[in-house]
């Protein structure tokens, strides 16, 4: 197995990690059965983490939210007071999970992530104006019939740009409205789902519409495609930063000005489980344990994502915790080559982005040697695009894989929530691809 970079951890970080694990094992009902795995206070804290089982979304669904609240905290009373609320994740790739939402903890997690990029660290963020472009079924206000006013889509210092969950159905006038509202609202930050923002940017490019430039664009909700980034960076000259996290865990990684992603060490611990080398050097899944959340203790939570560790220290100078070269994509979006090698979403995306003229795509592996691809293109020779596309994908999957292609007018997100750019129509057990521990 390839040797992995050794992250740097301060004594303060080790103390937070120790407190989080020992609180979970001693005070949180969901982890009582885990106590037998613990090596105890004399063992290294990270070895203690690695000895713990993996917590999955299925575990969260099977147990009531109160099972993950430390003893001494009255969840029912906190809900009555409005200190916390119960929210559900979108469930775009698996069933929805009910989470205890603590706004104060979430805000603190977000604020600590801002320190990891020079632009957000210097922008004096807090009560800043922020425009959000994402599915209203995830965040904001949805409206299936008619449209909402600007006032109806404004909450505190946030403006939610769209009430429509399917970008394939966005009209030119709706896109124009979003561009106009950005100029009127003048947000410091534009937070966006990259696939949604890509559609808006394509409209702006096609119609030569100038777009207001915020101090920073943060990309979240989905891992950005290289094609998304191409569209977005053609419109926005300000820093475009990828932020990574989840409703369950808060902000876990933030992209720095050098393009790497750094762990939000003030609010979480991250375990890395590498894949066997044949599936990708320094690639593996991550398990996140949260710090400082009084209403939700998560230990070794499987994010459902694959990442690639950075091989060298980051030029930005940040050294604390794990540093990632890239997010490789959802495990649920992984596919297999003819040789049985795991092909990550990022590998598929690199193949698709290398073909000129593709604006959107969806790849489905229907069998071991069969792949279907739908693409959206506003330019170019359709036959030439399809021919180049097959060649590019066969380099990843094998020369004899059968690839069928079709071009469509637009693509819609799954359940009106998020796009799935690649997936297999058969189960892939990620545990079978993990490297064996020595």
pLDDT digits (tens, 9 = 90+) for 5-58: 788 899 999 999 999 999 999 999 999 999 999 999 999 999 999 999 999 999
Cβ neighbours, 10 Å, residue 350: 14
Is 202 a member of any domain?
yes
Domain shared by 245 and 344, yes or no: no
45 and 99 in a single domain? The answer is: yes
pTM of the model: 0.95
| pLDDT number for residue 90 | 63
Number of domains in the chain: 2
Distance separating alpha carbons of residues 354 and 361, to the nearest angstrom: 13
Give the pLDDT confidence score for residue 6 in this predicted structure.
81
Question: CATH number, domain at 317?
Answer: 3.40.50.12780
Q: Tell me whether residue 425 is in a domain.
A: yes
Q: Is residue 166 in a domain?
A: yes
Task: Identify the pLDDT of residue 206.
Answer: 96
CB neighbours (10 Å) of residue 359? Answer: 18
CATH code, domain carrying 423: 3.30.300.30
Q: How far apart are CA 371 and CA 402, in angstroms?
A: 6
Residues 417 and 287 in one domain: no
* Residues 90, 207 share a domain: yes
CB-neighbour burial class of residue 400 (10 A; exposed 0-12, middle 13-18, buried 19+): exposed
Domain that holds residue 428: 335-433
- Crossing angle of helices 172-185 and 194-206, in 10° steps, is 100
pLDDT digits (tens, 9 = 90+) for 142-159: 999 999 999 999 999 999
In a shared domain, residues 77 and 140: yes
**33 and 182 fall within a common domain:** yes
- Distance, in Å, from the CA atom of 281 to the CA atom of 365, rounded to the nearest integer, reads 23
371 and 324 part of one domain: no
Helices 345-353 and 226-235, axial angle in degrees (round to 10)? 60
Q: Check whether residue 402 and residue 318 sit in a common domain.
A: no
Note whether 303 and 372 are same-domain residues.
Answer: no
Does any domain span residue 4? no
Residue 203 domain-assigned (yes or no): yes
**Does residue 3 belong to any structural domain of this protein?**
no
Whether 58 is covered by a domain: the verdict is yes
- Does residue 2 sit within a domain? no
């Amino acid at each position: 197995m390839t040797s992995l970079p050794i992250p740097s951890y301060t004594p303060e970080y080790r103390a937070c990690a120790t407190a989080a694990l020992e609180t979970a094992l001693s005070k949180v009902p969901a982890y009582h059965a885990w106590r037998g795995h613990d090596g105890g206070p004399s063992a290294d804290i990270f070895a203690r983490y690695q000895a713990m089982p993996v917590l999955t979304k299925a575990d969260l669904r099977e147990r009531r939210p109160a099972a993950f609240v430390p003893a001494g905290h009255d969840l029912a009373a906190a809900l009555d007071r409005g200190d916390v609320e119960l929210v559900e994740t979108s469930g775009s790739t698996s069933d929805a999970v009910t989470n205890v939402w603590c706004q104060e903890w979430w805000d603190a997690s977000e604020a600590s992530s801002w320190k990891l990029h020079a632009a957000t660290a210097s922008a004096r963020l807090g009560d800043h104006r922020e425009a959000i472009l994402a599915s209203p079924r995830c965040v904001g206000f949805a409206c299936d019939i008619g449209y909402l006013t600007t006032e109806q889509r404004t909450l505190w210092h946030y403006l939610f740009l769209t009430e429509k969950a399917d970008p394939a159905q966005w009209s030119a006038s709706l896109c124009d409205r979003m561009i106009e509202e950005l100029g009127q609202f003048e947000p410091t930050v534009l937070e966006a789902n990259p696939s949604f923002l890509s559609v808006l940017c394509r409209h702006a490019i096609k119609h030569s519409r100038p777009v207001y430039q915020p101090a920073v664009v943060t990309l979240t909700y989905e891992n950005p495609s290289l094609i998304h980034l191409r569209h977005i960076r053609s419109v926005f000259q300000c820093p475009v930063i990828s932020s990574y996290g989840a409703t369950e865990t808060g902000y876990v990684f933030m992209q720095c000005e050098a393009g790497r992603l750094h762990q939000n060490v003030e609010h979480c611990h991250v375990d890395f489980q590498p894949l066997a080398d044949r599936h990708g050097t320094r690639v593996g899944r991550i398990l996140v344990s949260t710090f400082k959340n009084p209403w939700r203790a998560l230990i070794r939570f499987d994010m459902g994502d694959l990442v690639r560790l950075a091989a060298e220290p980051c030029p930005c100078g940040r050294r604390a915790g794990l540093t990632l070269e890239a997010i490789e994509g959802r495990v649920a979006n992984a596919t297999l080559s003819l040789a049985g090698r795991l092909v990550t979403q990022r590998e598929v995306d690199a193949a698709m982005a290398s073909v000129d003229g593709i604006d959107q795509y969806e790849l489905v592996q229907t069998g071991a040697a069969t792949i279907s691809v739908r693409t959206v293109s506003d330019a170019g020779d359709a036959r030439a695009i399809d021919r180049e596309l097959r060649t590019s994908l066969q380099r990843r999957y094998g020369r004899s894989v059968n690839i069928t292609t079709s071009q469509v007018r637009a693509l819609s997100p799954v359940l009106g929530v998020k796009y799935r750019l690649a997936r297999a129509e058969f189960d892939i057990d990620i545990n079978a691809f993990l490297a064996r521990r020595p």
